[in-house]
């Protein structure tokens, strides 16, 4: 599944549309095609501030459009520069709930010229669904996105 999606990602990002439209199409594609992806969004560093700002996303709207560095899974990834796989969100102390249906989450940082400029965030309504294949695939997505930023 992930292998067949890779060329679709590349094709979307190669078009001449605006960046936010391309990122929206990527979010829509992932949410639609991957069963255990129920909310898919990009957060980006908000200028010079130590906070993340929500970019394009697919899924239910969230109140958490600004997340300070260090807060929640997303804010921790902004500081750690590491993938964060959460098999069960209820087991996390530093977690920001966006929807009561969410059971698990994966956040993968997005590097531009070696700098952590944002992340892709996936919420799942399934418990413990993520494997290393998700990590490798989302790293690929972010590497492709970094090329157009
Ligand atoms: N759960 C995230 C907040 C973002 S929502 O999932 C859209 C967190 O703990 O950082």
> For 86-118, how does the pLDDT look when each residue is reduced to its tens digit (9 = 90+)?
999 999 999 999 899 999 999 999 999 999 999
Which atom of ligand 1 is found nearest the CA of 39?
7
What pLDDT score does 29 carry? 98
Q: What fold characterizes domain 2-146? A: Beta-Lactamase (3.30.450)
Sketch the domain layout of the chain as residue ranges. Answer: 2-146
Q: For ligand 1, is residue 96 a contact (CB within 6 Å)? A: yes
Using the mean position of ligand 1's atoms as its centre, give its distance from the Cα of residue 75 in Å: 9
Give the closest residue (by CA) to ligand 1 atom 5: 98
Q: For ligand 1, is residue 85 a contact (CB within 6 Å)? A: no
φ/ψ (deg, to 5) at 29:
-60, -50
3-class secondary structure per residue, the chain: CHHHHHHHHHHHHHCCCCHHHHHHHHHHHHHHHCCCCCEEEEEEECCCCCEEEEEEEECCCCCCCEEECCCHHHHHHHHHCCCEEECCHHHCCCCCCCCCCCCEEEEEEEEECCEEEEEEEEEECCCCCCCHHHHHHHHHHHHHHHHHC
> For 110-145, how does the pLDDT look when each residue is reduced to its tens digit (9 = 90+)?
999 999 999 999 999 999 999 999 999 999 999 999
> For 9-31, how does the pLDDT look when each residue is reduced to its tens digit (9 = 90+)?
999 999 999 999 999 999 999 99
- pLDDT band at residue 63 using 50, 70 and 90 as cut-offs: very high
Using the mean position of ligand 1's atoms as its centre, give its distance from the Cα of residue 106 in Å: 9
- pLDDT band at residue 51 using 50, 70 and 90 as cut-offs: very high
Query: What whole-number distance in Å separates Cα of residue 73 and Cα of residue 124?
Result: 14
């Amino acid at each position: 599944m992930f292998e067949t999606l890779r060329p679709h990602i590349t094709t979307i990002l190669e078009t001449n549309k605006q960046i936010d439209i391309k990122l929206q199409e990527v979010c829509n594609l992932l949410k639609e095609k991957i069963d255990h992806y129920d909310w898919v969004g990009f957060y980006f560093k908000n200028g010079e501030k130590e906070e993340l700002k929500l970019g394009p996303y697919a899924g239910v709207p969230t109140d958490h459009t600004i997340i300070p560095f260090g807060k929640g899974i997303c804010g921790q990834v902004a500081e750690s520069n590491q993938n964060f796989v959460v098999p069960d969100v209820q087991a996390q102390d530093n977690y920001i709930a966006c929807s009561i249906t969410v059971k698990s989450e994966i956040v993968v940082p997005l590097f531009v010229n070696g700098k952590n400029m944002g992340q892709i965030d996936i919420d799942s309504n399934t418990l413990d669904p993520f494997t290393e294949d998700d990590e490798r695939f989302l790293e690929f997505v972010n590497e492709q996105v970094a090329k157009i930023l």
